[in-house]
Amino acid sequence: MKIPFNIDLRDKVAVVTGGGGVLCGSFAEALAECGAKVAVLDLSKEKADLTADKINKNGGLAIGVSANVLKKESLEEARKIITEKLGSCDILINGAGGNHHKGTTTKEYLYKEDSESNEDLITFFDLDPQGVEFVFNLNFLGTLLPSQVFTKDMLEKEGAVIINVSSMNAFTPLTKIPAYSGAKAAVSNFTKWLAVHMSKVGIRVNAIAPGFFVTQQNHALLINDDGTYTERAQKIINNTPMERFGKPEELLGTLLWLVDENASSFVNGTVIPVDGGFSAYSGV
Ligand code: NAD
């Protein structure tokens, strides 16, 4: 993997939740490339192992660990395994997250004629509380619980950091996805809260807010079967001054800067957009 610059993370242990996924898989690889021992945590052991194997084949040191960010016992179990095999956590990346179709409306706007029951549409009135709850839990609790479990090992450790993963939706909600937007707004808010709360024990907390990157979780929303952009993808491109989607490796400079004590020791409680200008553009 080509990383933008090297920082020295030898002797550091990084825990990356959602590390079996696209964005956080590349975060895990970059941290390993800089010398960190990496625990790749994912609900799917298979996906966690795939990322860890890739790192180990490239000369790094990583283990795949199955864990559910919504279950404290599962995280405690993972913490035990990680401490035994790699040592205690210095760097926590809270990357597991995502949306659910039951917290998503079919249309961008509500029209009077759609407000009666219609099997083909999920309107605002049909949003399923369990779907909404799932999304809030995955993104918000899924950030809070790993932070509770792993910061126990990070108190007053030199260079201890947490990086959360927020989203453009946290600044201005995207149409159709109120649950995901609200949940990511909560992640940004919590990033600031936790940075303040942890400031006396030397743990810095920041977040990256990625713009739009084509990954498993949004592929069907953005790319048609024939490879062309969907209407929604084209809208995103029209509102991104740089007129393209991001590539996962374009998040790595921000990640490494925020992780590195030498580079960002006074940066705390921030949410950094990496978005090709999306959040700066009013659309006019
Ligand atoms: P992804 O679906 O590729 O990866 C998410 C990973 O999280 C998956 O491997 C999944 O197995 C894992 N996961 C899901 N539930 C879990 C649980 N309960 N416990 C542990 N692991 C769990 O998604 P991605 O696009 O790489 O997204 C990574 C993060 O970036 C997410 O928080 C996402 O919301 C955020 N994000 C993505 C984009 C984008 O454009 N792709 C933009 C902004 C923010």
Question: Using a 6 Å CB cutoff, which residues line ligand 1?
Answer: 17-18, 20-24, 42-44, 47, 67-70, 95-98, 138, 142, 165, 167, 210, 212-213, 215-218
Predicted model pTM: 0.97
Three-state SS for 166?
A: coil
Domain ranges of the chain: 13-211+247-272, 217-245
The pLDDT of residue 221 is: 83
Q: Does CATH place domain 13-211+247-272 in 3.40.50.720?
A: yes
Point out the ligand 1 atom lying closest to the alpha carbon of residue 165.
32
- Average pLDDT per run of 10 along the chain, which is 284 residues long? 93 98 97 98 98 98 98 98 98 97 94 83 95 98 98 96 98 97 98 98 98 86 92 96 95 98 98 98 95
134 alpha carbon to ligand 1 midpoint, in Å? Answer: 14
- Mention every residue, 6+ apart, whose C-beta is less than 8 A from residue 142: 17, 69, 70, 94, 96, 97
Q: How far apart are CA 11 and CA 90, in angstroms?
A: 9
pLDDT at 219: 86
Q: Tell me whether 0.95 is exceeded by the ipTM.
A: yes
